[in-house]
Amino acid sequence: MQSEWQRRKDAQNRRSRERLLQRLPQPFPKPVLDRALRRPFIPPTPRLAINSYWSGHPLRAERLARALARSSGAPAGWRWRLGEEHDSGLPATFRTPPTPYRESAYSLGPGACCICGQPIYRFGWHSDLWQTGINKNAVWHAACVVAWEFWNAPNDQARLLRRLQSRRCGASGRRLRKDAQVDHRIPLFQVWQDYRDRPWPDLLAYWGLPNLQVINRDVHIEKSAQETRQRRLDRQISAEPA
């Protein structure tokens, strides 16, 4: 027998589906609509359908964000810097991906995405699909929100990354255990130390899929210990008189 909960959910989904289809502007990206209609709870608006699409495809979102950033390039004179002041928009640590257009000195203002620097259109989409022009109230692409979350918290996507590696440890090749962790192949301190002058947005790839792997916890602990020893050695060498 159908539970009361299931009946309510079905009724809500019927309403949401109706609302979504009524409001749907044409053309609407088919994969976005297909996913929306398959959700356990159907998003009732095009905007929510788009958000749901990117949340479900974080790797696509982060690839797109890097491609869009490539169209912008870095602003003239920009270099990756860290900062303390809250209103400068500078990242406080090298663990945060460098994003010039979030910095107050290079901000492009509403209508341009603070992550990739490209124009934002209706529903946070990245092209003018509906010929409505730039969305002057927006500062993030829907895809770039998800890319930003992914770069800052890749562990949240551990399940997806495990699947991509066929559940094998990226370092030892052994079967991934439950406690496996997401690791940056080239550690972020090293990116800051050795590669910080690389052009933007190439830098972003160090936070993206190209530099991520899932590895077993024991391998991760050993890798981190080695990295710490290497950092200490590097510091000693640079402190020695020339």
Which residue lies nearer to Zn ion by CB, 140 or 192?
140
Q: What angle do CA 177, 180, 183 make, to 5 degrees?
A: 150
Which residue lies nearer to Zn ion by CB, 141 or 184?
141
Amino acid at the residue 207: W
Q: 146-175 mask for Zn ion (x: CB under 5 A)?
A: ------------------------------
Give the torsion through C-alpha atoms of 158, 162, 164, 169, to 10 deg: 130
Which residue lies nearer to Zn ion by CB, 115 or 191?
115
Please give the DSSP secondary-structure letter assigned to residue 240.
S
The yes or no reply on residue 138 touching Zn ion (CB under 5 A) is: no
| Candidate list 36, 90, 116, 146; residue touching Zn ion; CB under 5 A | 116
**What is the rounded distance in angstroms from the CA atom of residue 215 to the CA atom of residue 223?**
10
Is-contact 182 214, C-beta < 8 A?
yes
- C-beta of 84: minimal distance to Zn ion in Å? 26
**What is the rounded distance in angstroms from the CA atom of residue 62 to the CA atom of residue 65?**
5
Number of residues that bind Zn ion (CB under 5 A): 5
Which residue lies nearer to Zn ion by CB, 113 or 191?
113
Is-contact 138 171, C-beta < 8 A?
no
| Candidate list 66, 141, 184, 220; residue touching Zn ion; CB under 5 A | 141
Pair of tokens at residue 214: 């899932």
| Candidate list 49, 113, 176, 219; residue touching Zn ion; CB under 5 A | 113
| Candidate list 32, 64, 90, 115; residue touching Zn ion; CB under 5 A | 115
The yes or no reply on residue 182 touching Zn ion (CB under 5 A) is: no
Query: How many alpha carbons lie under 13 Å from residue 108 in its C-beta half-sphere?
Result: 21
- C-beta of 118: minimal distance to Zn ion in Å? 6
Residue number, nearest CB to Zn ion: 113
**What is the rounded distance in angstroms from the CA atom of residue 45 to the CA atom of residue 52?**
11
- C-beta of 219: minimal distance to Zn ion in Å? 35
Please give the DSSP secondary-structure letter assigned to residue 126.
S
Is-contact 78 167, C-beta < 8 A?
no
Which residue lies nearer to Zn ion by CB, 116 or 176?
116
The yes or no reply on residue 144 touching Zn ion (CB under 5 A) is: yes
**What is the rounded distance in angstroms from the CA atom of residue 199 to the CA atom of residue 80?**
9
Region of 27-35, 111-119, 148-156, 196-204 interacting with Zn ion (CB under 5 A): 111-119
- C-beta of 141: minimal distance to Zn ion in Å? 3
Which residue lies nearer to Zn ion by CB, 32 or 144?
144
Please give the DSSP secondary-structure letter assigned to residue 92.
S
Contacting positions for Zn ion (CB under 5 A): 113, 115-116, 141, 144
